[in-house]
Amino acid sequence: MVQLDEFERLAAQVSNWGRWGTGDQRGTLNFITPAVVARSAAAVVTGEVFSLGMDLSPAGPQTGIVAGRINPLRTMLAINKPIRPAGDSPAYSDDIVTMPIQGATHWDALSHMSRGGVLYNGIPADVIGADGAAKLGIDAAGVIFSRGVLLDVARHEHVDKLPNRYEISNQVLREVEAAQGTPVREGDIVLIRTGACGAFLRGDRAGYRADPSGLVYDAPLFFSERSVAAVAIDNMPAELRSPDPSAVDLPVHVLCLIMMGLPLGENWVLEGLAEACDRDRRYSFLLSATPERFLYSTGGMVNPVAVR
């Protein structure tokens, strides 16, 4: 829980407005320079590959908490339909999908959240209309490819899943980073494991959105101090929401997306990667996480791939 005066102090401390120019739309992804990408290749040692995306199906994580967000629906447009009406014609099958962009594993674009009528870098929120986000859409992110670092908070606490409303603070992130022995560097993408997605995959669908653990208001200081490029977590909505109506709502989203220009990922599947990292105590890897280029979208679907 954070009150307005403390929040405004944090906002000024982590702000990147104007850092890369008044027209910048990529935010902290600017930390991923060609030199950072070249250096990231050293994180590949064994060649193990992990997909970090959820299956897209009606059994997804959406339970109605966010109005209008449904789980993916896939239906058939054609089933073994002959291309020509007669003769030995080849046939084809086609599908169509209906789903919200933030329905499963995704990035929040910098246009996803506004406060006081403005978005990241002071861009007016009215750039978002019925046609989508004319600025700060997910297409502005470009390629997301860098070194990833897993901060396995659940394993640090010796649990499969963090307790409900466990607070992942700046101090907790520091402690996990130190215990794992892999310092987060400029341009890294930080992945945070709570164990929530693992529980979901084991069948606890109802509990996935029921008061989960999450980041708290000072966690963005950790990302700011280390010049992190992006952050993703294995739950939704990534942060704890305060029941106190006087507290600032969704402070982590506001500080990351609006003040820092730092993309947030949610619903990432980290179980297999976490087991591998724990096995050899090596918590860095090469991460490919470029979102689908839906123009003017406030988020981006992604099937991230980690290579160790």
Residue 130 has pLDDT above 90, yes or no: yes
Predicted TM-score (pTM) of this structure: 0.95
pLDDT score, position 218 = 97
When mean pLDDT is compared across 29-33, 60-64, 76-80, 163-167, the lowest value belongs to: 60-64
Give me the pLDDT at residue 3, please: 83
Model confidence at 253, in pLDDT bands (50, 70, 90)?
very high
* Confidence tier at 97 by pLDDT (50, 70, 90): very high
Per-residue pLDDT band at 241 (split at 50, 70, 90) = confident
What confidence score (pLDDT) does residue 162 get?
96
Distance CA 134, CA 298 (A): 10
53-76 pLDDT, tens digit per residue, is: 999 999 999 988 888 899 999 999
Q: Is the pLDDT of residue 45 over 90?
A: yes
**pLDDT computed for residue 209 by the predictor:** 81
Tell which residue, 190, 149, 166, 115, has the closest CA to residue 308.
149
What superfamily does domain 4-64+101-307 belong to in CATH? Putative cyclase (3.50.30.50)
Pairing assessment for the beta strands 264-266 and 106-108 based on DSSP bridges: antiparallel
Q: Which of 69-83, 117-131, 168-182, 239-253 has the lowest mean pLDDT?
A: 239-253
pLDDT the model gives residue 65: 84
When the pLDDT of each residue in the chain is averaged and rounded to a whole number, the result is 95
Distance set, CA 117 to CA 94, 123, 133 (Å): 42, 9, 14
pLDDT at 63: 87
How many CA atoms are closer than 13 Å to the CA of 174, on its beta-carbon side? 10
Q: What angle do CA 235, 241, 246 make, to 5 degrees?
A: 170
State phi, psi for 6 to the nearest 5 degrees: -65, -40
Residues 105-126 have pLDDT tens digits of: 999 999 999 999 999 999 999 9
- Report whether 58 contacts 97 (CB < 8 A): no
- Confidence (pLDDT) at 40: 97
Amino acid type, 108: D
What is 28-86 written as a DSSP string? Answer: GGGG--HHHHHHHGGG-SS--EEE-PPP-STTSS--SSSTT----EEEEEEEEEESSSS
- 235 pLDDT higher than 80: yes
Band (pLDDT 50/70/90 cuts) for residue 206 is confident
pLDDT category, 260, cuts 50, 70, 90? very high
DSSP 257: I
DSSP symbol at 280: H
